[in-house]
């Protein structure tokens, strides 16, 4: 089963020799992290030190990796190549007809493929002043020209990047769903082989931990939230790191609920018992955490649409499961859109929302 197909509206066309893949951008659209490093050197360094970059790839050498690959029909020799394994544990790229795999998850694993004829890279650093026509752009020059960009051009540029598939800091819900491409292992064969998935994936914990890389406007510290998102000159007053955390927390739970519901609708065969049990737990967990935040009015449609789902009903397989769970997932997705639109800065969310205070891993501070 294609997880990309389950999530919908992605550009990944599949990986040779495998039944599913997590990389949502085709290898042809991956320009590679070195292009990002030209302007975002500190962000690049912070990410390079994260386990997403290091441990993710090293896990392909784990003693159990060959067994997981075998469950998918992937040979030992292909684990680190054109396979579903490398699509999640690495970043697959095809340039000038040559296929390669970068070790670990990289910039485009999260922000979307930047290259190709319709990629977002050029729009991303085109501030309407000619910089995008140069081949060697530096951060200092970009920040200077960025400060001179007109509001109209900025809005147009942001919209163009979004259409081209870029996941920006404003897109908290889309980023959370993208994370789940790998943090939920939506393949019945892998689940039966006991391939682990992140049982309690929590968006805020990761964003405040080892994957934090927010140096854009202040290169002296790794900020709690993206400084571009916080910038009052760009987005108006009232945005805070705490508000961002509340926004990300709810967005993350909605994303987990939607994705898990869609997978549940597909897991109707007997050989999908292990995967079905895991996503059932996710549905109940996300639903409970959202119910704890029911004071947020925009969440009501999602809560109503999933009210009837209990462990007993989730375990029972029925002929209309696909329609039932797809309908509920659609309601959650619609709720998420309304929620983000109503609380773009997070500041209007009640402080009573229980946001995790711990972080996954150590934040890189910019010091050796």
Per-residue pLDDT band for 146 (boundaries 50, 70, 90) equals confident
- 96-124: average pLDDT: 92
pLDDT higher than 80, residue 11:
no
| Single pTM value for the model | 0.90
Per-residue pLDDT band for 198 (boundaries 50, 70, 90) equals confident
CA 124 to chain centre: 19
Nearest to 202 by CA among 187, 183, 219: 183
The predicted pLDDT at position 14 comes to 29
The predicted pLDDT at position 133 comes to 53
Per-residue pLDDT band for 22 (boundaries 50, 70, 90) equals low
pLDDT higher than 60, residue 9:
no
Averaged pLDDT score across all residues of the chain: 88
| Distance in angstroms between the alpha carbons of the first and the last residue of the chain | 43
Q: Which two tokens stand for residue 326?
A: 């797809």
Rounded Cα distance between 256 and 252, Å, is 6
Q: What is the pLDDT of residues 184-195, one digit of tens each?
A: 988 999 999 999
Per-residue pLDDT band for 137 (boundaries 50, 70, 90) equals low
- 272-276: average pLDDT: 94
The predicted pLDDT at position 359 comes to 93
Per-residue pLDDT band for 23 (boundaries 50, 70, 90) equals confident
Q: What is the pLDDT of residues 219-246, one digit of tens each?
A: 899 999 999 899 898 888 889 999 999 9
The predicted pLDDT at position 136 comes to 59
Stretch among 2-11, 97-106, 141-150, 265-274 having the lowest mean pLDDT:
2-11
The predicted pLDDT at position 3 comes to 44
pLDDT higher than 50, residue 10:
no
Per-residue pLDDT band for 131 (boundaries 50, 70, 90) equals low
pLDDT higher than 90, residue 177:
yes
């Amino acid at each position: 089963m294609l997880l990309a197909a389950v999530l919908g509206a992605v550009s990944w066309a599949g990986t040779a020799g495998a039944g599913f893949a997590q990389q949502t951008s085709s290898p042809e659209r991956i320009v590679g992290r070195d292009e990002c490093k030209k302007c975002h050197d500190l962000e690049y360094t912070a990410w390079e030190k994260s386990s997403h970059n290091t441990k993710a790839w090293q896990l392909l050498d784990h003693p159990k990796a060959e067994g997981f690959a075998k469950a998918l029909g992937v040979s030992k020799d292909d684990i680190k190549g054109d396979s579903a394994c490398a699509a999640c544990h690495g970043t697959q790229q095809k340039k000038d007809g040559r296929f390669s795999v970068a070790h670990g998850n990289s910039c485009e694993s999260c922000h979307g493929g930047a290259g190709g004829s319709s990629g977002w890279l050029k729009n991303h650093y085109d501030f309407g002043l000619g910089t995008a026509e140069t081949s060697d752009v530096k951060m200092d020059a970009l920040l200077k020209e960025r400060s001179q960009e007109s509001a109209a051009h900025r809005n147009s540029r942001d919209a163009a990047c979004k259409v081209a598939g870029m996941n920006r800091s404003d897109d908290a819900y889309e980023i959370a769903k993208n994370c789940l491409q790998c943090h939920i292992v939506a393949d019945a064969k892998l689940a039966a082989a006991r391939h682990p998935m992140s049982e309690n994936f929590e968006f805020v914990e990761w964003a405040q931990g080892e994957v934090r890389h927010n140096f854009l406007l202040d290169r002296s510290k790794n900020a709690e939230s993206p400084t571009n998102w916080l910038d009052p000159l760009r987005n108006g007053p009232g945005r805070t790191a705490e508000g961002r955390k509340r926004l990300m927390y709810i967005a993350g739970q909605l994303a987990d609920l939607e994705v898990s519901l869609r997978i549940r609708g597909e897991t109707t065969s007997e050989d999908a018992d292990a995967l079905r049990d895991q996503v059932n737990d996710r549905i109940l967990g996300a639903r409970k955490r959202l119910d704890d935040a029911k004071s947020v009015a925009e969440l009501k449609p999602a809560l109503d649409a999933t009210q009837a789902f209990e462990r007993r009903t989730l375990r029972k397989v029925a002929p209309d499961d696909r329609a039932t769970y797809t309908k509920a997932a659609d309601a959650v997705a619609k709720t998420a859109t309304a929620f983000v639109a109503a609380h773009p800065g997070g500041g209007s969310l009640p402080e009573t929302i229980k946001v995790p205070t711990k972080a996954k891993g150590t934040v890189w501070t910019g010091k050796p």
